[in-house]
Structure 1
Amino acid sequence: MSEPGFSLAIGRTPMAAGLRAAGALPDGTRIDFAAVEPIHRAFAPMARTQRYDMAEMAIVTALQALAYGKPIILLPLTLAARFQHRCIIRLASRPALTPQALRGRRIGVRAYTQTTGMWVRAILAEEAALPAEAVQWVTQEGAHVAEYADPPFVTRVAEGLKLPDLLREGAIDAAILGNDLPGDPDFAPVFPAPEAAARAWFARHGVAPVNHVLVAARPFAEAHPGRVAALLAALRAARPVAQPDLLPSGAEAMAPALTQVLAACHAQGLLPRRLAVEEVFAPARALGLD
């Protein structure tokens, strides 16, 4: 007899395609897939009230949840990652805007806490000597973790306004977008050769720019570590084979990326206190889930 099912909020990643088709783990345990799209709409309810037993979550949201004492466990599995240089765009019809010329400008991003924005700010700090506070950040929404308050150099636009429209109107000078990056010729990347710049960044750092990870509600994981382990194993078995590997799995493999993320979060004022890699993975390790 199979165990009772569990709830899972996860995007339509290729890693989860087989599980979605089966509706269950290989041992027959039922998976109740949450109907939530886009997947970032699951992050706030998971961080705030642990609405699901397990969920995909942006790594910045997961780290904020841990820092604010939310009962979630960050599991050592990357579900989504991408090179980030191409994610900051400008209006193509205006004079070219270099990364260095962004100082004092207005950059739109869905939320100051969005993981793609964190990565782009880290890149701008490194490659253009542009700290987060040197820019006017224009956002559409607040943090998934309710306790976090945006810094004073962040302002919110009226609900319903879209970043590409704000770019066209000249209300912002550049915008950071992730999965919703427009393929419209009206827009051009701020980095003139973003793919080459991303390859050079990766050659320097050797780090996967992790966006989304897997998390579990702590009470569920502590009560059912076997089911958490089984889901981890099933997703890991479906990891695509690619070079470079942008989907590290396991605490040791993820440590370099997590080290970079924690440093960037501290520099950008995204966490209420410093976190160490060991602290982040300790709850998973305690349950044998590393």
Structure 2
Amino acid sequence: MAKLSVSLACCDYDRTKALFDGRVGIEGCDVNPVIIEPEEAFHRAFRDQEFDITEISLSSHTMTTSRGENPYVAIPAFVSRVFRHSGIYIRTDRGIGKPEDLAGRTIGIPEYQITANVWIRGLLQDEYGVDPASIDWRRGGTEQPGRNERAPIKLPPEIRIQQIPADRSLSQMLEAGELDAVFSARAPSCLRRGAPNVGRLFPDYRRVEQAYFERTGIFPIMHMIGIRRSLAEQHPWLAVSVYKAFLEAKEICTRQIGDIGQLWAHLPWAAAEYEDTVRLMGRDYWSYGVAENHKTLDTLARYSFEQHLSARRVAVEELFAPSTLELSKI
């Protein structure tokens, strides 16, 4: 029987690299791989459904699933996870010394729906009592002017959000003092250049994020892998085959990063960092699978509903192909 020809769009992470260099294949498939930045993959997937298998935003996937409008179904391969206390960038000359000081401020965001910002708003409300409705939001590209939402959103009147001028970026406005803060997955260039009066709310974000994990057990999920729904329904075996491939690629990466005999990352103490992480978070700290990540996924689903992105509270199981719900390590 001929193999199924599929396109695969994903970032070339260390945990996905084996899928791109040929060490790992997808059972039953002839794969056309496309190495792509996540933001581009999301826009092309959610707007035009260009790819058969693609990296997708957890937030946008949850939101569109709640509306019954999602052309993709996910597998529980979480290719991007990032603690997001590091993503709060502030003017240091505005008296913002603690999270509570963000209430009532004017804050820039690339998109209201991006997963990083859903996590930031959620943890600020859960842990510090900062209500998103207390903030004046300004939306636009962090570096490139003109950015808007990748999928339509409809927010209630109490959420005040305005588009910034089409010729401005959030980084420019933060540096110029036109914003009090920016929430972004990527550090704005004004911070990287050392612009005056621009810094992080949590300069020692590693310590704060470690404490957050010890307190909550949550390692925030950003992106997972989606399969075109029509394709997954036509080929019921496909979801498990794709999941197995991503799991194998991640396990290759995990073995390498802990190898002190030869360093696979260009960091002198990469193996020591791996050992420290295992001590804090456990050996399978970057786990795949629904059961292993149910609390994290359910927390994001709650945030999405509370922040008026999801039309209803989505159950975790709705996000994934049914055949993958019971899978962890195969």
TM-score over 0.5 (shorter chain): yes
Residues 213 and 224 from structure 1, CA distance in 2 versus in 1: closer, same or farther, beyond 3 angstroms? same
Deviation at 1:13, TM superposition (A): 1.3
Q: Name the SS for the 1:266 alignment partner.
A: helix
d(CA) in 2 for partners of 1:261 and 1:131? 16
> Does residue 193 of structure 2 align to residue 184 of structure 1?
yes
What is aligned with 1:143? 149
Deviation at 1:105, TM superposition (A): 0.4
CA contact (8 A) 2:94 2:180 kept: no
d(CA) in 2 for partners of 1:32 and 1:151? 42
> Does residue 71 of structure 2 align to residue 74 of structure 1?
no
What is aligned with 2:288? 249
* Bigger Rg, which one: 2
Amino acid at match of 1:261: L
Deviation at 1:253, TM superposition (A): 1.1
Structure 1: 5+ residue runs without aligned partners?
none
Q: Name the SS for the 2:15 alignment partner.
A: helix
Amino acid at match of 2:110: R
CA contact (8 A) 1:112 1:142 kept: no
What is aligned with 2:170? 163
Deviation at 1:43, TM superposition (A): 1.3
d(CA) in 2 for partners of 1:58 and 1:26? 22
Residues 27 and 190 from structure 1, CA distance in 2 versus in 1: closer, same or farther, beyond 3 angstroms? same
> Does residue 301 of structure 2 align to residue 262 of structure 1?
yes
Which 10-residue stretch deviates more, 90-99 or 155-164? 90-99
Deviation at 1:6, TM superposition (A): 0.4
Deviation at 1:144, TM superposition (A): 2.1
Q: Name the SS for the 2:16 alignment partner.
A: helix
CA contact (8 A) 2:24 2:245 kept: no
CA-to-aligned-CA distance 1:150-195 (integer Å, 9 cap, x gap): 4441111123522221101111101112134543333311124322
Amino acid at match of 2:314: L
What is aligned with 2:116? 116
Coordinate RMSD, CA, aligned:
2.4
CA contact (8 A) 1:75 1:214 kept: yes
Residues 151 and 161 from structure 1, CA distance in 2 versus in 1: closer, same or farther, beyond 3 angstroms? farther
Residues 71 and 258 from structure 1, CA distance in 2 versus in 1: closer, same or farther, beyond 3 angstroms? same
TM-score normalized by the length of structure 1: 0.89
Amino acid at match of 1:174: A
CA contact (8 A) 1:107 1:138 kept: yes
Identity, % of aligned positions: 23
Runs of 4+ that moved beyond 6 A: none
> Does residue 313 of structure 2 align to residue 274 of structure 1?
yes
d(CA) in 1 for partners of 2:305 and 2:26? 40
CA-to-aligned-CA distance 1:122-175 (integer Å, 9 cap, x gap): 1211232101111111111433223x2244411111235222211011111011
Which 10-residue stretch deviates more, 181-190 or 163-172? 181-190
d(CA) in 1 for partners of 2:200 and 2:22? 40
What is aligned with 1:63? 62
Deviation at 1:88, TM superposition (A): 0.4
Which 10-residue stretch deviates more, 64-73 or 198-207? 64-73
CA-to-aligned-CA distance 1:243-265 (integer Å, 9 cap, x gap): 33553211111211111101111
TM-score normalized by the length of structure 2: 0.79
What is aligned with 2:259? none
Q: Name the SS for the 1:6 alignment partner.
A: strand
CA contact (8 A) 1:82 1:210 kept: yes
> Does residue 300 of structure 2 align to residue 285 of structure 1?
no
How many residue pairs end up in the alignment?
286
Structure 2: 5+ residue runs without aligned partners?
141-146, 255-273
Residues 112 and 9 from structure 1, CA distance in 2 versus in 1: closer, same or farther, beyond 3 angstroms? same
What is aligned with 1:85? 85
216, 219, 224: which one aligns with 1:208: 219
